[in-house]
A and B are shown apart, each in its own frame.
Chain A
Amino acid sequence: MGLQTPRGVKDFLPEEAIWKQQIEGRLRDVFMHWGYQEVVTPTFEFYDTLDLGETTTEQTYRFLGRDGELLALRSDLTTPIARMVATRLKDLEKPLRLSYLANVFRYDEVQVGFQREFFQAGVELIGSTQPAADAEGIALAVEAFKAMGVQNFCVDIGQVQYLQGIMEECGCPTIMNQVRQVLIHQDFVGLKAILAQSNIDQDIKRILLDLPQLRGKADVFDRALALTHNDRAKQAVENLQSIYAVLEGYGVTDHIHIDFGMVKSLDYYTGMILEGYTPNLGSTLCSGGRYDNLSSKFGQPLPAVGFALGLERLMLVLERQGLRPADQGETYLVLPRHWPNALAHAQTLRQQGHRVEVDVQGLGVDEAVVYAKAKGISFVILVEDTDEKTVYRQE
């Protein structure tokens, strides 16, 4: 074994680490100002507990504890938070607003901005079925992108019950499942083949084939309603309409597209679903929706809505949009020729908000300048017993 790191993990070197921290700070700020409280869940838990959330897959990292118990690294925060809410927070007044910034683990093929360990920021609003709660989740996603300065982003919203309503009309579970699978993979060639071979109603076939067209602005609602008589599907449209009405109040509809053709691979969504993206990245930036049945698996039926965004993907987009902050502020190197004075001077500069290194190597002035140039330090200050002078200034 060499000194490499395994596939799927990476180091954040100082420049990336500080930038990541700034991004996290800004997101934390946004979440806090919307009344969300940050929580931290364990990095690993009992496999069976995470499995209750049905988010465990072949990609879940599993391992044995010393007593032989099966453990798993978290692959998202939604399930651990649902467990936390159903147990330790069960007596708190609802709704609860919780947020997190955490690393998650998936033994997946390494993808765009998704290593096997990656960082997520997200929120969960737990204990409300109201469209206003869905709208808050969506508006907060928009707000997070805005706070980060992301350009040209969009958030698509859909409703899983629409497709489910239409599919229950066709009555055949086998075909329903096949159709769902090809829609998840957006395999429209496969969809046509399945529909051509099946004997389901012509109207339903037409809706399923037209599904990709059910995307756009508010006009989509009427088109989606006109296509079906199914009550469940109609209620889904009305639900998304109510959510959209609240979003108009938030003033964020410029960033919103409605898409009834959106299908998620996760089974646990029960209502509104959302996906955020920009033209600069070939994959989604954030993802989420309503999941009303998850916490009942932990014994406390609580409706909930939430989203998570991928931090590395966000960083990739910001970099591609030229929004990576260049300068990290002024830095000082103090050369102590008189220690008490030098340390006092360094302290003053720190209080003014600067970043200050005090030389511990006993560098001469020339050596100090070489060091400062190599590290991009802005000022070198020589502090003697009677005075201090700037012996180097970055050009």
Chain B
Amino acid sequence: MLSIAVSKGRLLDSFAEILEKAQYPCDVLQEETRKLVVESSQAGLRFILAKPADVPTYVEYGAADLGVVGKDTLAEADKNVAELLDLDYGRCTMIVAVPQSLGITDVSELDFNSRVASKYPGIATEFFNRKGIQVEVIPLHGSIELGPLIGLSEAIVDITETGRTLVENGLVVIDSIMESTSRLVANRVSLKVKRQEITNLVNAIEGVL
């Protein structure tokens, strides 16, 4: 039995679809439930329903053998887990955006008085450090677009799929940091102890991607 930490929502449906195609039946994921752990004995899988940002932690500690998590969250968490597969859905881009009214077109125009709001303070800090640009990163937990609107920050670092929310809030993209898709990750010891089971699952998923 393999345990997989996943987060609820739209992305879980995409993963369930992949599993079904790969002959790992998991109807349990479609059921409306408040349970935090559901099991598909047919597929030999136990699903742990977690918050996205917690998935890398569950896997690092070995509380789950595997996890499904966006590359953005994975990079921000910086945990010691093995990254097995790019699941190729949930595609989005991590961008730097500023209000159009600011007239800035390049990140280098941000000066040391600039504040950058982000749900990804680690990635944002690393990005600006690498560029040699001094900014103050302000960690937020959601609605990042609000930052520039109400004068909390000059810029934001956030993920976007279509860019529509940005446009609606009068923001323009001035740089992109990374592309992100959902990834299958594994605990390092599980990868050794349950190698065969994990290899079978990985091969089956790879076959239908």
Contacts and interface: CB of A to CB of B under 8 A. Distances in A.
A156 B83 contact: no
Contacts of B60: 111-112, 282-283
Interface string B81-111: 1111110000000000000000000000000
B192 interface: yes
B167 interface: no
Contacts of A156: 192
B83 A257 contact: no
Given A190-B83, A283-B189, A215 B195 contact: yes
B83 A277 contact: no
B189 A189 contact: no
A126 to B, nearest CB: 29
A186 interface: yes
B7 interface: no
A192 B86 CA distance: 10
Interface in A250-285: 257, 259, 277-279, 281-284
B137 to A, nearest CB: 19
Nearest to B86: A189
Interface string A275-301: 001110111100000000000000000
B189 A284 contact: yes
B109 to A, nearest CB: 31
A379 B184 CA distance: 58
Contacts of A227: none
Q: How many B residues touch the partner, as a band?
A: 20 to 34
Contact of B193 (A185, A186, A259, A279): A279
B82 A186 contact: yes
Contacts of A212: 191
A76 B59 CA distance: 27
Interface centre among A186, A189, A192, A284 (most CB of B within 10 A): A189
A187 B188 contact: no
B190 interface: yes
A371 interface: no
A284 B62 CA distance: 11
Contact of A186 (B62, B63, B83, B195): B83
A282 B63 contact: yes
Given A112-B62, A189-B183, A215-B195, A281 B189 contact: yes
B193 A154 contact: yes
B86 A283 contact: no
Contacts of B190: 282
Most B CB atoms within 10 A — which of A111, A154, A212, A281?
A212
Interface string B184-209: 00011111110100010000000000
Nearest to A187: B83
Contacts, number: 59
A188 interface: yes
Interface in B30-82: 59-63, 80-82
A279 B85 CA distance: 23
A154 B192 contact: yes
A282 B186 CA distance: 10
Contacts of B83: 185-190
Given A188-B82, A190-B83, A277 B63 contact: no
Interface string A201-234: 0000000000011010000000000000000000
A212 B83 CA distance: 12
B84 A257 contact: no
A213 B198 CA distance: 12
A86 B85 CA distance: 46
A189 B84 contact: yes
Nearest to B181: A189
Contacts of A283: 60, 62, 80, 188-189
Contacts of B61: 112, 282
Interface in A319-369: none
Contacts of A257: 192
Nearest to A152: B193
Contacts of B86: 189, 192
A282 B188 contact: yes
B189 A186 contact: no
Contacts of B59: 282
A156 B195 CA distance: 13
Contacts of B81: 186
Nearest to A285: B189
A156 B187 CA distance: 16
A385 B159 CA distance: 84
Nearest to A259: B192
21 contacts: A185-B80, A185-B82, A186-B81, A186-B82, A186-B83, A187-B82, A188-B82, A188-B83, A189-B86, A215-B192, A257-B192, A277-B192, A281-B62, A281-B189, A282-B61, A282-B63, A282-B187, A282-B188, A282-B190, A283-B189, A284-B189
Given A282-B60, A282-B187, A283-B60, 6 more contacts: A111-B80, A185-B82, A186-B188, A190-B83, A257-B192, A283-B188
Give me the 5 closest cross-chain CB pairs, A-B, nearest first.
Answer: A282-B62, A186-B82, A187-B83, A279-B193, A189-B86
Interface of B: 59-63, 80-86, 183, 187-193, 195, 199
Interface of A: 111-112, 154, 156, 185-190, 192, 212-213, 215, 257, 259, 277-279, 281-284
